[in-house]
Amino acid sequence: MRLRGMGRVAAVILVVQCIAGIATLAETPSAAPGPPAAAPGTETMSQGGSRFDVAAATAAYLAKVPPDKKARSDAYFEGGYWLLLWDFLWNGAAFWLILRLGWSAAMRDRAERISSRLGPWLRWTRTALYWAQLCVVFTILQFPIAAYEGFFREHKYGLSTQTFGAWLGDQAKGLGVALVLYSILFTLLYAVLRRSKNWWLWGSLVAVVFLSFVTLIAPVFIFPLFNTFTKLEDPAIRTPILSMARQNGIGVDDVYVMDASRQTTRISANVSGLLGTTRISLNDNLLRRCSLEEIESVMGHEMGHYVLHHNYKGTLYLGVLAVLGFAFVRFAFDAATRRYGATWGVSGVGDLAGLPLLALLFLVYGFAMTPFANTVTRVEEAEADIFGLNASRQPDGFAEISLKLGEYRKLDPGPLEEMLLFDHPSGRARIEMAMRFKAETLRGSRPASP
């Protein structure tokens, strides 16, 4: 349910994320909102009757999904497993091709020639000039799989509302953002790589500080490039959201609505930003498709991420992964250049022509760390789920939202499948959590026996 400008798993693959650009934010309306159906056992428990059956209530919610829709959702989500592998192989092959054909060395030489003509004070632009070439070439090489994954596949499963032209427009914006932001990152990073013997430590610091800075400015300066944000005016929805925010120490005065329906049918929301950029946002699909109870459960979850300081914990976690990643790259890069450096035209880690090799090594590292990264994220999501249930007091709304998320997330995976491949708790786990919360709440509200 989190709207992420940059996913943490993508952030771990530092250079790869940079080259891939910023993912398009989006999601169309469906059925009109309605109150969530009560789970079996609710009425009897609330009247002091028979015991609320958590397992039966969970099974009843899962049974509301027709078999054909469940099969379609499972196929979509399981196809994502294969895409993880194909993305890894495709992007790895693209980086290797850029190195093997000497394109990277040619890009470096071209950047050196142009920057030298600009004078000694502008020699630093060579990194940005090299990055601009590499970013465009990689984007072209990656385009077939990006188009399939981001446009054609989304339309096949009824999750996209964009025309191909609109999708291309968002990709162009993402490319522009990547060109600007990562020109800054790589200029700083290569200054460290060329000057420090402990470049892997200082490089980790530069990467983490930069990504934290992007997180800070994204709600105000990046997200609006892809979507229009307007203030939520409906007091029936705005007032309870702001009240919940104040109850949990979130100092905001407005709620913003993102026009995600121009891109997708998915529902999402977010409490994002740091310092003075904090913003509560939800997309228009959430407003159009969901009841107030469901909206409150989503916003409670998102506020949980903010109140539990998941952004700060995520930065610490990213820092650890970055240090480990740069340490791996330090040894692997030297080994690769000793054997193939002359063929590729790469002299060392401070050579701009080696950036595709850095990206390839981070790609390998990130792929290997996927189960661990998924587990860390999944734990944070479960923490936010529990917080949201306590903040909103809407277990049935939360269960209904879990079913809506099940339109594109597998609802009932196997235990090992969920542990390795899920970065959020499964729909079954979330519904069971909500029903357990409901059972304990109802038990506490039962009148004492005479």
What are the pLDDT digits (tens) for 283-296? 999 999 999 999 99
pLDDT of residue 276: 67
Helix (H) or strand (E) holding 70: helix 67-100
pLDDT of residue 115: 93
pLDDT of residue 23: 32
**In degrees, to the nearest 5, what angle opens at C-alpha 215 toward C-alphas 141 and 272?**
120
Are the C-beta atoms of 336 and 358 separated by less than 8 Å? no
Percent of the chain scoring above 70 in pLDDT: 86
Whole-number mean pLDDT of the chain?
Answer: 87
- List, in order, residues 6 or more apart from 8 with CB less than 8 Å away: 314, 317, 318, 373, 376, 377
The per-residue b/e assignment along 272-281, b for 16 or more CB within 10 angstroms, e otherwise, is bbbeeeebbb
- The confidence band for 220, taking pLDDT boundaries of 50, 70 and 90, is confident
210 against 447, higher pLDDT: 210
pLDDT of residue 9: 35
Phi, psi angle pair for 258, to nearest 5°: -105, 135
Q: What is the DSSP letter of 253?
A: S
Q: Which two tokens stand for residue 237?
A: 């929805």
Q: What is the mean pLDDT of residues 175-204?
A: 93
pLDDT of residue 30: 34
pLDDT digit string, tens, across residues 379-438: 999 999 999 999 999 999 999 999 999 999 999 999 999 999 999 999 999 999 999 999
pLDDT-wise least confident of 8-17, 85-94, 354-363, 411-420: 8-17
Are the C-beta atoms of 48 and 388 separated by less than 8 Å? no
CA distance 113 to 119: 11
Q: What is the DSSP letter of 51?
A: P
pLDDT of residue 445: 62
410 against 220, higher pLDDT: 410
Phi, psi angle pair for 312, to nearest 5°: -70, -40
pLDDT of residue 216: 78
Are the C-beta atoms of 343 and 353 separated by less than 8 Å? no
How many residues appear in the chain?
450
Q: What is the mean pLDDT of residues 162-188?
A: 96
Q: What is the mean pLDDT of residues 248-268?
A: 94
Residue 13 has pLDDT above 50, yes or no: no
Q: Which two tokens stand for residue 202?
A: 């200082």
pLDDT of residue 50: 55
Phi, psi angle pair for 11, to nearest 5°: -65, -30
- Report the Cα–Cα distance between both ends of the chain, in Å, rounded: 44
Residue 15 has pLDDT above 80, yes or no: no
Q: What is the DSSP letter of 113?
A: H
pLDDT of residue 332: 96
Q: Can you say whether the dihedral through the CA atoms of 132, 134, 137, 143 is positive or negative? A: negative
pLDDT-wise least confident of 235-244, 313-322, 346-355: 313-322
212 against 64, higher pLDDT: 64
Helix (H) or strand (E) holding 434: helix 427-445
pLDDT digit string, tens, across residues 26-79: 333 333 344 444 444 444 444 334 589 999 999 999 999 999 999 999 999 999
pLDDT of residue 275: 64
Residue 243 has pLDDT above 50, yes or no: yes
